[in-house]
Structure 1
Amino acid sequence: MNLRPLALSDNLALSIFLDSECGSSQMYRTVLNLRETQMVAMERIAFDEDQIVGYLCCAKMINPADWWVLSVLVVSSNSRRKGIGRDLVRRGMDDARRAKAPAVVVVGDPAYFAQMGFSQSAVKNLSLPFAQALTSLYPIAPKTGLSKHTLQYPESFVPFNDVVTTAV
């Protein structure tokens, strides 16, 4: 598996990948909305030979403004349980650290994301708009774990307020 930043020439293949893996165009539309509103912090694709097998997108939070949210993580159904999702997340968190993001929030399976260093207990002092039981934090800067903030996600993240699916 190779991992690299998304290139403009990847858009069609990414659209097809996300639509087929997620069963609708909602995920790709969310990515497009994040891009159009300039809220994408980082995008990475994993590929095997010429085929996309995974995608990761982190977006900028509205509040705290310097935090990120892991917005999209999708691994090909044919490539699951091979560590691709974990590799994407780990490398994504390395990118977040290099970009000096103080913390990254995720809404998803707490047990899965705990394997990559996310902590559910680190969000206990945060005011969350939804999905408290599914929210975890990857603290990077000192004192971000257990800090007190009211989280506000990018508006484009809103379609996932009611339903959280894990496609990894």
Structure 2
Amino acid sequence: MSPPATPPCMPSSLLEECLGVNYAEHFKVELSSCSKLGDRYWKVPALYVFCENDRPLYVGETGNTSRRIYREHCSAHIGGSEGVARFLMYYLDQIAEAVEEWVGLSPLGRERYVKEFLKRKVEGLTLVIILGSRGELRNGRRRREVERCLRMKLRPPLNPV
């Protein structure tokens, strides 16, 4: 069985290398976005990559895909996860450049502005989700090993090695 097509930011050869198996038989690679995800993968373990313009931006792993990605990253829950803090730092220059949009706002208004700005940016990213077909990713240690491999090979700017 040939591996399924993967997006440019996640080459199939890299998946095969990091997963250490014929991944097409054991894993499902899904191309998604924040708007498509919702609560479909509640309590489902996965690895994930956020991509911007076909370039890997952030690699993560979770034991609860919908909670981590949809409820934390996609909703820009600042303080909810390390990933959201990294997205904030990545887009901070763009927020600062939009000074005319937030300069007259109250502190609470500025906080809302930053959250909405960040939310729009994260929602616009391509999301690659890697799911185990038979529970292969239930083990947190295994997920972290694969995440480490993906980070080493992809070199996403928000996951310094």
When normalised by structure 2's length, the TM-score is 0.28
Higher strand proportion (structure 1 or 2): 1
Q: Which structure shows the bigger proportion of residues in helix conformation?
A: 2
